[in-house]
């Protein structure tokens, strides 16, 4: 009875026990989570999606850099593969139209005066050659080079010889020089920046604070490469039309297919890398997010290890649903 009286008297004074809350805590959290308590295998698997996208960014940048290197070294040396990569090819094989009397003889005389059959423009210099011999000479690579067909042709001719060139081509020379040098700077800067970012982009798996500057620099590299590609495409299309637009001279001009394909592939992959990296700023849990409990990452990482996700994310959803049911119940009771 004494034991019973103590139990009865203690009843009103003591707070009601809450075994359900203690039980839930024991069931949902098997390990005391802290910034250093999450096992590394769980942490890595929880952020596997983010790591995959970070590696994808590096691969896209790598592909972009490879094709940009081909653009950079194209038309620099007298090698079969390199001389096939050019922006523009000017053909002087039949510079005198066939309608002119003795056109074949005059074309042969033009060749004897020092003119070559074709000239190709690259990023660092130009190459020249004959149709039956191929490329015979490439200029020494030069920084901030720009393709000046007037100067090249006049230097090729013997002393005292001259040749009439389209007036439209001469008008565009100043614009051509400025555009060529901007294109050179954009291509070189974008390529170097993209190459530096290849080993840095996987660091975005650790924190969003690290991801933001990497994403901004990746976007800058993509903009530089894309701007140079657009500028080169527009510029050489204009030059080709100016060269072939004069009927008095039968000068041919064609764009280099390989060069333009390489440019646009590099620009496309750089843009994909920038978009993926920008997406990582707000999507996919980083390792810092998982440690601090902001995000849990992959559910399979926790279930596979027999652990519960950090309570910061899961508990909020459960508590909010319980509160909603209790509030709804009280309102229904009051009504």
Is the confidence at residue 304, as pLDDT, over 60? Answer: no
Of 87 and 313, the one with more pLDDT? 87
Measured over the CA atoms of residue 271, residue 58, residue 233 and residue 179, the dihedral's sign is: positive
Distance CA 220, CA 179 (A): 19
Higher pLDDT, 257 or 288: 257
Query: In 148-174, which positions are buried (b, 16+ CB within 10 angstroms) versus exposed (e)?
Result: bbeebbeebeeeeeeeebbeebeebee
- For β-strands 118-121 and 126-130, DSSP reports them as antiparallel
| Residue 278 parent element (H or E) | helix 257-279
How many Cβ atoms from other residues are within 10 Å of residue 79's Cβ?
Answer: 13
Q: What is the pLDDT of residue 247?
A: 62
Coil, strand or helix: which one is 129?
A: strand
Beta strand spans in 29-125 (E) = 88-91, 118-121
270 falls in which pLDDT band (50, 70, 90)? Answer: very high
Strand partners, 118: 91, 129
If you average pLDDT over residues 219-231, what whole number do you get?
Answer: 96
What is the chain's mean pLDDT, rounded? 73
User: Tell me, what's the pLDDT at 37?
Assistant: 63
Higher pLDDT, 179 or 164: 179
Round to whole Å and give the CA distance between 183 and 123. Answer: 9
- In angstroms, what CA-CA distances link 100 with 47, 97, 107, 153, 247? 74, 6, 11, 22, 12
- What's the confidence (pLDDT) of residue 36? 45
List, in sequence order, every residue forming a beta bridge with 11; answer none if it has no partner.
none
The dihedral over CA atoms of 293, 297, 298, 302, expressed in degrees to the nearest 10, equals -20
The least confident of 108-117, 120-129, 161-170, 244-253 is 161-170
Looking at residue 31, what is its pLDDT? 44
Average pLDDT over residues 248-257: 81
Residue 265 has pLDDT above 90, yes or no: yes
**Band of the pLDDT at 38, cuts 50, 70, 90?**
low
- Least confident residue range of 83-87, 208-212, 259-263: 208-212
Q: What is the pLDDT of residue 327?
A: 41
- Which residues, listed in sequence order, are joined to residue 90 by a DSSP beta bridge? 119, 253
| 269-272: long-range contacts, CB 8 A cutoff, minimum separation 24 | 269/60, 269/61, 269/63, 269/64, 269/67, 270/60, 270/61, 270/64, 270/190, 270/194, 270/218, 270/221, 270/222, 270/225, 270/226, 271/222, 271/226, 272/60
Q: Who's near 190: CB < 8 A, 6+ residues apart?
A: 68, 221, 222, 223, 224, 225, 228, 270
Q: Strand 252-255 vs strand 88-91: parallel, antiparallel, or unpaired?
A: antiparallel
Stronger pLDDT, 62 or 31, i.e. the higher one: 62
For residue 158, the model assigns a pLDDT of 53
Beta bridge partners of 127: 120, 138
Q: How confident is the model at residue 335 (pLDDT cuts 50, 70, 90)?
A: very low
Task: Identify the top-confidence range among 7-11, 149-153, 172-176, 218-222.
Answer: 218-222
Q: Give yes or no for a contact between 86 and 255, defined as CB atoms under 8 angstroms apart.
A: no
Cβ neighbours around 55 below 10 Å, total: 13
Q: What is the pLDDT of residue 258?
A: 93
Q: What is the pLDDT of residue 330?
A: 46
């Amino acid at each position: 009875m004494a034991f019973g009286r103590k139990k009865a008297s203690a009843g009103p004074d003591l707070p009601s026990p809450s075994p359900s809350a203690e039980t839930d805590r024991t069931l949902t959290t098997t390990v005391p989570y802290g910034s250093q308590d999450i096992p590394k295998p769980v942490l890595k698997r929880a952020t596997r999606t983010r790591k995959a996208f970070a590696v994808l960014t590096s691969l896209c940048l790598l592909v972009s850099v490879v094709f940009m290197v081909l653009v950079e070294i194209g038309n620099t040396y007298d090698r079969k593969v390199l001389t096939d990569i050019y922006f523009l090819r000017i053909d002087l094989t039949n510079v005198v139209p066939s309608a002119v009397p003795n056109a074949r003889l005059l074309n042969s005389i033009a060749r004897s005066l020092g003119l070559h059959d074709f000239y190709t423009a690259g990023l660092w210099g130009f190459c020249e050659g004959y149709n039956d011999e191929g490329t015979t000479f490439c200029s020494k690579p030069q920084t901030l080079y720009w393709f000046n067909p007037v100067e090249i042709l006049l230097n090729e001719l013997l002393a005292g010889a001259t040749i009439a060139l389209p007036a439209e081509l001469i008008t565009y020379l100043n614009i051509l020089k400025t555009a060529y040098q901007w294109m050179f700077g954009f291509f070189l800067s974008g390529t170097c920046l993209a190459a530096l970012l290849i080993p840095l982009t996987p660091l975005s798996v650790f924190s969003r604070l690290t991801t933001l500057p990497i994403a901004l620099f990746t976007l800058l590299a993509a903009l530089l490469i894309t701007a140079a590609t657009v500028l080169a495409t527009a510029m050489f299309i204009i030059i080709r039309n100016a060269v072939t637009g004069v009927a008095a001279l039968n000068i041919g001009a064609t764009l280099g297919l390989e060069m333009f394909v390489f440019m646009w592939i590099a620009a496309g992959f750089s843009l994909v890398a920038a978009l993926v990296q920008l997406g990582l700023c707000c999507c996919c849990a980083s390792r810092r997010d998982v440690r601090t409990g902001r995000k849990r990452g992959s559910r399979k990482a926790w279930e596979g290890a027999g652990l519960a996700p950090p309570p910061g994310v899961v508990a909020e959803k459960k508590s909010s649903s319980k509160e909603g049911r209790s509030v709804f119940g009280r309102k229904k009771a009051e009504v």
